[in-house]
Chain A
């Protein structure tokens, strides 16, 4: 299957600082990538849809100015958590869509565990 690489896998930062998470499609071009947040023992919560060369589309309730998404190339999307606070601590996962038999299937990165102290 397609490979999506997410980096870093784990990060600890101080409250008030910003953290950037990278998501790369390694063997294909992804015009659309998705960013999810996952709390312990819960399902994935879609934060935003990232389209290459245009502004991201955020889900209701997600702060655009806090979670900055950039999709400058067909193989890279980044999520920056600005002025992070402890409540932003979570597991963040990206995914990219690949066409498979008339539908696009999602392949996920390994996830980034963010801890804000």
Chain B
């Protein structure tokens, strides 16, 4: 079993829809959670990070963490074609240097 599971998709939704991206994890030591966006042939870009259960909002993006269920989500409101990318979740326990990544979900927003 992988430490972090993420549905690779692809996921295709119409412009303006609310998108929900999810990851589950098995290691209860994970305390820090990140979401990255990666456009084709580019390096990943940090979107959001959080280290506690609950919600964190930044513009159209909301990161949600449920440590009791070992489940994290990224919501995108009013999705735009420019949001089309691969979204990777990542996490690590305190003090660890290495991040553990999900497989990434390929998202397409159709105009």
Contacts and interface: CB of A to CB of B under 8 A. Distances in A.
A101 B102 contact: no
The main secondary structure of chain B at its interface with chain A is loop
Interface residues of B, number: 25
Given A101-B51, A103-B49, A6 B43 contact: yes
Contacts of A111: 41-43
Given A91-B41, A111-B43, A106 B99 contact: yes
A103 B44 CA distance: 18
Interface string B23-55: 000000001101010000111111001010000
A14 B32 CA distance: 42
Interface residues of A, number: 28
A80 to B, nearest CB: 19
A42 B38 CA distance: 12
B41 A113 contact: yes
A6 B45 CA distance: 14
Contacts, number: 57
B51 A110 contact: no
Interface string A77-108: 00000000000000101010100111111111
Given A102-B51, A108-B44, 20 more contacts: A4-B43, A6-B43, A34-B97, A41-B106, A43-B101, A43-B104, A49-B97, A93-B43, A93-B44, A100-B49, A101-B51, A103-B31, A103-B92, A105-B34, A105-B46, A106-B34, A106-B46, A106-B90, A108-B36, A109-B43
Interface of A: 1, 4, 6, 32, 34, 41-44, 46, 49, 91, 93, 95, 97, 100-111, 113
